[in-house]
Chains A and B, each alone.
Chain A
Amino acid sequence: MMFWRVLRQMIVRGRGRLAVALVALVSGATASAALLNLEFDAERKFSHELRQLGPNVLVRSAVAPGASDEPGGVFDAEVVNGLLTEASGAGGGPVTGLAPSLYVIVRSPGAETGLVLAGTWLDAYPRLAPWWSVNGAWVTERADTNVCLVGQQAAAKLRVRPGSTVELRYAERTATLRVAGIVSTGGAEDDQVFANLPVAQQLAGLPGKVSVVQMSVAGAPQEVERYASQLAPRLPGLEVRPLRQIAQAEGQLLARVQDLLFWSVGLILLLTSLCVLATTLALAIERRADVGLMKALGGQMTRIVRMFMAEAGLLGAVGGIAGAVMGTVLSAWIGRQVFGTATSVRIEVIPLIVAVMVAVALLGALPLRLLSHVRPGIVLRESK
């Protein structure tokens, strides 16, 4: 019990300088734990951000779009029901969103040369195309056949504002719709009018037909490609096309972000550990006099070293635990600041950080072993 009494005395007596060393260990551990937590979570969060790029798989008729006035082939909406069960199927499936569309070239007062009407599920768009900026209101009901969204260029041509009505003609059929909102996207959508699917089907005289299905599929580019190639044989006569522009850029951007975080966090962890090591080393060197005194009092070298190791290990453990807890809190705060949602806590980070800190503290105390050859007289004289 002598061992523990001496250890306790050492800690109580040296609490000033131990506290100072503890500050170093705790702050090093805090930074390391926070960064490790972030590193694990940031990849997922950025992948989620990039998912906002929109649909990455298209299903369309394999018949090529003609050179004529009319857009390419249409197919039965039955297919969509099949895809829908997939999207909501067991296990969540990789499909995170989908919407079928039927495109019709219609005429309208103000756009006599023609105008593209896209009949689709308007309620799916806030999720499928979050970059759309709508002046007015989104359409939230897929069955509502009286409203439409108008692209900003089309709206300028048709001279409509949210709340006004627009008349669309195809052959001898007409549809009068209320404009719910003006859409601005910077893409082809700016020139188009969006209504719910039945409106376009009825206007074109193509009930139950669609011309394209847009899907949002989660996963790396290879997974998306694999999903598309698995889907293709089940849909004869249709073409399943991954949008390479989106899929590829997404994968490459994500890889860059991962690399960046990995290297910067890795470097910071390594250097922080080394920095803490330097502190514990400094602490150990200052202990020469104590070692000398213990030796002079007849202590065995192994016993003395064990004592100091225990002290260092204890210091490392306390610093590691405190730092890991504080780091978890810090990473949650950073996550909220950057992404708006807290970083999820990785429990495995805590033991990892404690282990690293104990290892660093023990490594720092190791030079004491070299003091076995120290002659007490010299050390003691030197220190006084």
Chain B
Amino acid sequence: MFFRILGESFLRNPARKWLEAAALALGMAITTAALVTALDVGDRMAREFRRLGANLVVTPKTDTLPLEIGGTDYRPVEEGAYLKDEDLGKLRTIFWRLNIVGFTPFLDAPAELERGQNRFATRVIGTWVAHEVAVPDGTTFTTGVLATHPWWKVEGAWFPENAIVTRGDASDNATTRGGRDVVVGASLASRAGIRRGDWFTIRLGGHEIDMQATGILTSGGAEDQAIVAPLNLVQGLTGHLGEYRRLAVSALTSPEDEFAKRDPDTMTPTDYDRWFCTPYISSIAFQIKQTLPGANVRVVRQVAETEGRVLGRLSALLWLVSVTALVSVALVIGSTSATTVLERRQEIGLMKALGAGRRRIVGLFVAEQVFVAVCGGLAGYLAGEGLGYAVGEIVFGIPGTGRLVLLPVVLALALAVTLAGSLWPLGRVARLDAAPVLRGE
């Protein structure tokens, strides 16, 4: 009997139920999409912030003070300490290895460029472009300036990375191809009249070798005045085989909060674990320091601070937007449910007149509303996931990730909102006497 009446109610007046379910589905779609976006935005924007380049810098611990002015270190090559590049694969074995987007070692040396009659004082910067690093777990990881310095633009092509140059090769002045291919900074190139494909001579540390420009580099930094070459070429020329002086690390981090600013040494073991297992920039720096012997890891505050602040504000904003949308949608749906119940006073009156108890009537309406809520909530969840996916695709180029966790949340919300909206008028109507209601008073 109960179910027959329920079924009848849906069949007899479908428009009203459809509208309620539609409002519900729309509202839940907003909620789901907003939640999906708010949950994702931290990760997505953190990745966008990596366009700013490295947020961690690794230097040797026992180093003399670098004499860096305008991005160029004026220390002589023989001075200062170096780090070993064979350890770099270990960076992909730390707890937050997947958050390490890229790292690039640098080694540079003063040099003299000779072209025709003219000589230019410059520097040769050795680095990786897209270098395959062997990770101790047997995999390889490709990294270099393409990952850590995305604003560097090369007109032409980068030099090939795979040329192996040993000390013997480098000092040998034969014009072999590969390993002598370099890119030339734009300012230097225009002063020296070098275009891509041109050959020129470099004097560095007693060696004199011919190099070919495979491309012209614009970086907006000190590199515009320099020559960028494969790391192993510069290592060979300077006699620092397998060594580098500075490592730029680009890592995905979560914004620092008050907790992250505490000193890990004074934390309780539980707090320490929590700190260690959160991708704060300080905990990633700490893990890198543990991995690379003799290294000093510094947080580039200029990048990290701005990133933390903007990310924190953006996700706070999106959460508040989600909550605003949610509350307003809840009120809209609640009022729709209330309207549909209020309009059925006569029906309720009739039921009462026919001897239905209050509990029975309320049960019937609740069952009806639950059914509408589940259908609307489910449809809304699916539509919302679709929208979240689309927003991710449009804004970040990466579709949003589906989150099944949200399904029970959204269904519970749909139920709560519909029941809250309908129970109040239902209670009022069910308490009325049948006769005046039926008369339409």
Contact = CB atoms under 8 A, between A and B. Distances in A.
Contacts of B300: 185-187
A135 interface: no
Interface residues of B, number: 95
Contacts of B65: 111, 113-116, 153-154, 157, 191
Contact of B302 (A54, A212, A244, A267): A54
Given A115-B67, A260-B37, A279-B332, A252 B51 contact: yes
Contacts of A248: 51, 151
Contact of A28 (B321, B328, B394): B328
Interface in A336-384: 337-339, 383-384
B221 A256 contact: no
Given A65-B70, A184-B301, A186-B300, A337 B151 contact: no
Nearest to A69: B74
B183 to A, nearest CB: 16
Interface stretch (A18-26, A91-99, A161-169, A194-202): A18-26
Interface of chain B, main secondary structure: helix
B301 A264 contact: no
A24 B51 contact: no
A324 interface: no
B142 interface: no
B336 interface: yes
A3 to B, nearest CB: 24
Nearest to A333: B320
B53 interface: yes
Interface string A234-245: 000001011111
Interface in A182-221: 184-188, 190-192, 211-212
B19 interface: yes
Given A113-B64, A186-B298, A212-B70, A49 B335 contact: no
A52 interface: yes
A261 B317 CA distance: 9
Interface stretch (B3-11, B82-90, B306-314): B306-314
B383 to A, nearest CB: 9
B53 A245 contact: yes
B316 A338 contact: yes
A27 B187 contact: no
Given A20-B338, A186-B300, A338-B317, A191 B66 contact: yes
Contact of B331 (A23, A187, A337): A23
A245 B321 contact: no
A296 B394 CA distance: 55
Contact of B324 (A31, A53, A60, A383): A31
Contact of B41 (A28, A68, A260, A383): A260
Contacts of A30: 324, 328
B327 interface: yes
B377 to A, nearest CB: 14
Interface in B9-33: 15-16, 19-20, 22-23, 26-27, 29-30, 33
Contacts of B329: 27, 31, 272, 275
B41 A279 contact: no
A131 B328 CA distance: 39
B298 A190 contact: yes
Contact of A64 (B122, B313, B327): B122
A186 B302 CA distance: 8
B434 interface: no
A264 B321 contact: yes
B398 to A, nearest CB: 12
Contacts of B306: 49-50, 52-53, 131
B263 interface: no
Nearest to A71: B69
Contacts of B338: 20
A119 to B, nearest CB: 12
A53 B120 CA distance: 33
A57 B98 CA distance: 34
Nearest to B26: A275
B394 A263 contact: yes
11 contacts: A69-B76, A103-B69, A241-B224, A244-B219, A249-B51, A260-B395, A264-B318, A267-B33, A267-B391, A282-B16, A283-B339
Nearest first, the 9 closest Cβ-Cβ pairs linking A and B are: A244-B220, A67-B110, A31-B328, A278-B23, A27-B331, A67-B121, A188-B68, A24-B335, A27-B328
Interface of A: 16-17, 20-21, 23-24, 26-28, 30-31, 34-35, 38, 42, 45-46, 49-50, 52-54, 58, 60, 64-72, 103, 105, 111, 113-116, 129-133, 153-154, 157, 184-188, 190-192, 211-212, 239, 241-249, 252-253, 256-257, 259-261, 263-265, 267-268, 271-272, 274-276, 278-279, 281-283, 285-286, 330, 334, 337-339, 383-384
Given A31-B329, A253-B51, A278-B23, 14 more contacts: A20-B339, A21-B335, A28-B328, A38-B321, A64-B121, A67-B121, A71-B70, A71-B74, A245-B220, A257-B310, A260-B318, A267-B30, A338-B320, A384-B440
